Structure 1
């Protein structure tokens, strides 16, 4: 998932690190209740990477999540090796590896006629 839903933004905590007036790293939750906590969209601005910001945000989100539920999860694309290393360094273990296929509808798409 590359974004948060409106409901997630309204109902789940988020953390951010600012430099001046600008957020340089952010993260939050897709699920945040006593049965399941799923961290998501942990992002560091490109020019600020390599400073441990994602690790700090992920660690804080993990600690908050563990206070609410014993089941804390996150997902990342397998080829995002810097993120995989951060998560493994914080004690996360891979459960399974999935492949994601992204689609887009071409501008010459065929319409379906329901009649």
Structure 2
């Protein structure tokens, strides 16, 4: 694993917004965010007070943002912490083989509302109607319903994040989630890139599964939902 990839993964949102997702970024050298309709993620190059103030200035009063951080840092007075949760970052140690399955289809703009409904029902993490702006998604349908999906999100030089992995509760236990993970990870690996992901630290079952599939923990973040006052 190139050391540069590991270093970039310490601030994956910032690296994405300054490299492969620069066209989706708003802000300046001290703070950047995705366009709000695409994603609520925002970041700074470090946690210096002036950069956190620039982060707050990106949002209009009442707007929300999501940030990742490893260490605590005082927030500006005009940013209110609404909630926080621990997430584990994991990285595939090796390339993931390509997997094919005739049930898997590429999802598109016409599927956005159904994708959002599935994400809201299963809570894999932040998701919007425009999440496909960040990268492609694939899914499986059963009796006309979207029952499982996964796609890509953050993109840094040499690595892409697997994200949005979820399965309808009544279809769990059939291996669909693992299939979707292998399918998307295989496509990332086929481009010569490393695969990484983020999972809530409380989801110990998923973490154990990812470890059996060759992912290792790299670091732990707090994901904070902030509101500009």
TM-score tier, shorter chain, comes to: 0.7 to 0.9
Aligned to 2:144: 21
Aligned-residue offset at 1:100: 2.7
Structure 1 runs of 4+ with >3 Å offset: 31-34, 101-105
In 1: Cα distance, 2:173 partner to 2:199 partner: 18
Which of residues 160, 168, 172 is equivalent to 1:45?
168
In 2 relative to 1, CA 100–72 (structure 1 residues): closer, same or farther, beyond 3 Å?
A: same
How many residues in Structure 1 have an aligned counterpart in Structure 2? 105
Is the CA contact (8 Å cut-off) linking 1:32 and 1:65 kept in structure 2?
no
In 2 relative to 1, CA 64–34 (structure 1 residues): closer, same or farther, beyond 3 Å?
A: farther
Deviation string, structure 1 residues 12-51 (Cα, Å, up to 9, x no partner): 2211111110011111000357622110010111111111
Matching of residue 70 in structure 1 with residue 193 in structure 2: yes
SS in 2 for 1:43: strand
| Higher RCO structure, 1 or 2 (CA under 8 Å, sep 6+) | 2
The structure that is strand-richer by fraction is: 2
Aligned to 1:108: none
Which consecutive residues of structure 1, in runs of 5 or more, have no partner in the other structure?
106-110
In 2: Cα distance, 1:60 partner to 1:3 partner: 20
Q: TM-score, normalised by structure 1?
A: 0.76
Which consecutive residues of structure 2, in runs of 5 or more, have no partner in the other structure?
1-124
Is the CA contact (8 Å cut-off) linking 1:38 and 1:73 kept in structure 2?
yes
Aligned-residue offset at 1:102: 3.8
Aligned to 2:103: none
Matching of residue 3 in structure 1 with residue 127 in structure 2: yes
Computed over aligned residues only, the root mean square deviation of the Cα atoms, in angstroms, reads 2.4
Alignment of 1:24-103 (within 5 A): 24-31=147-154, 35-102=158-225
